[in-house]
């Protein structure tokens, strides 16, 4: 038993592993042959233009889509490594509700717009089995504070929130269950620049503090530079370049990456 635990605790075992992930939508290619490992505490940015396959990849990783070919393996909390497409529905729900977070570009897809901010956060706790109302509310309050939402807004619905507040609420809702892996799909786009900056600070702080593994899809190279350790550049469904974030951005190798990097306006 002890021996097994030691092997399982090996820091070099990846948390998430994509192996030749490929998705066709009928004859059209979504993404092809994407392979990578992600470890705890690592932030991977997937960059590329719209249509590059980055959103398809995120859907494959988070089991929203089934791959046409390839596999995603994930190290569960008990240390066992599972093929995500072979999970039972109950196991899949456990991951989605507890061990994973998914921060969406459009907060309306990631939140329940008709229920209060407190309920949006508390709901995920109830999904893990917490039934104590006072405790749930206290935890929800704590998390609202951490994402800088006033306690007085706990009973308001996100309908009345600004775009930045909705994103922060979405983050609280996702992180309250202490997930190990968080997917983020363009979490800051569509927000005013100043709101975006505050949100990035918040995400950066929480990711480091909680040691989260993150796969973030973004078309914004500045966001990738600020948040990620590694970058994967996608084009036409394929990964064309990958490496340390500062290496890919400061010394891009591929023609397309050089074009992307040179197209960014320096502020």
Partner 1 sequence: MTTASPLLTLETVSRTFTLHLRGGLRLPVVSGVSFSVLPGECVVLGGPSGAGKSSILKMVYGNYRCDGGRILLRDGAETVDVARAEPRRILRLRRDVMGYVSQFLRVIPRVPALDIVTEAARETGVAAEEARRRAERLLALLNVPERLWSLPPATFSGGEQQRVNIARGLAAERPVLLLDEPTASLDARNRAVVVDLVAEKKAQGVAVLGIFHDEDVRDAVADRIVDVTRFAGARAA
Nearer to partner 1, 51 or 205 (CB): 205
* Cβ 244 to partner 1 shortest distance, Å: 4
* Cβ 251 to partner 1 shortest distance, Å: 4
Task: Give strand pairing partners of 82.
Answer: 74
H/E stretch holding 242 = strand 238-244
Nearer to partner 1, 5 or 262 (CB): 262
User: Which are the contacts of 32, defined by CB distance < 8 A and separation ≥ 6?
Assistant: 22, 23, 53, 237, 238
Question: What distance in Å separates the CA atoms of residue 101 and residue 43, rounded to the nearest whole number?
Answer: 14
* Cβ 242 to partner 1 shortest distance, Å: 8
Mode of pairing for the β-strands spanning 16-25 and 238-244:
unpaired
* Cβ 74 to partner 1 shortest distance, Å: 18
Mode of pairing for the β-strands spanning 43-47 and 69-75:
unpaired
Nearer to partner 1, 80 or 262 (CB): 262
Question: What's the token pair of residue 127?
Answer: 């999904």
What is the CB neighbour count within 10 angstroms for residue 142? 13
Nearer to partner 1, 155 or 201 (CB): 201
Nearer to partner 1, 20 or 258 (CB): 258
Is the CB of residue 173 less than 8 Å from the CB of residue 111? yes
Residues that bind partner 1 (CB under 8 A): 39, 42, 197, 201, 204, 226, 229-230, 243-244, 246-247, 250-251, 253-255, 258-259, 262
* Cβ 201 to partner 1 shortest distance, Å: 6
Residue that has been written with the tokens 């992307």 in this structure: 260
Question: What's the token pair of residue 258?
Answer: 């050089």
């Amino acid at each position: 038993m002890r021996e097994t635990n030691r092997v399982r605790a090996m820091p070099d075992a990846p948390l998430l592993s994509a192996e030749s992930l490929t998705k066709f939508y009928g004859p059209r290619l979504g993404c092809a042959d994407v392979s990578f490992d992600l470890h705890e505490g690592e932030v991977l940015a997937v960059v590329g233009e719209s249509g590059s396959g980055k959103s398809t990849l995120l859907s494959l990783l988070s089991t929203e889509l089934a791959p046409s070919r390839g596999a995603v393996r994930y190290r569960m909390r008990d240390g066992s490594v599972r093929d995500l497409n072979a999970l039972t529905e109950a196991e899949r729900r456990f991951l989605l509700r507890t061990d994973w977070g998914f921060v969406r570009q459009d907060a309306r897809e990631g939140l329940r717009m008709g229920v209060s901010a407190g309920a949006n956060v508390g709901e995920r706790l109830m999904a893990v089995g917490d039934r104590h109302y006072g405790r749930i509310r206290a935890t929800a309050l704590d998390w609202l504070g951490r994402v800088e939402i006033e306690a007085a807004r706990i009973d308001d619905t996100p309908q009345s929130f600004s775009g930045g507040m909705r994103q922060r609420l979405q983050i609280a809702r996702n992180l309250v269950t202490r997930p190990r892996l968080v997917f983020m799909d363009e979490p800051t786009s569509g927000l005013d620049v100043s709101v975006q900056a505050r949100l990035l600070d918040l995400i950066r702080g929480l990711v480091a503090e909680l040691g989260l593994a993150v796969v973030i899809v973004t078309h914004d190279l500045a966001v990738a530079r600020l948040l990620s350790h590694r970058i994967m550049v996608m084009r036409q469904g394929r990964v064309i370049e990958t490496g340390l974030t500062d290496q890919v951005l400061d010394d891009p190798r591929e023609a397309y990456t050089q074009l992307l990097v040179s197209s960014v306006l320096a502020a």
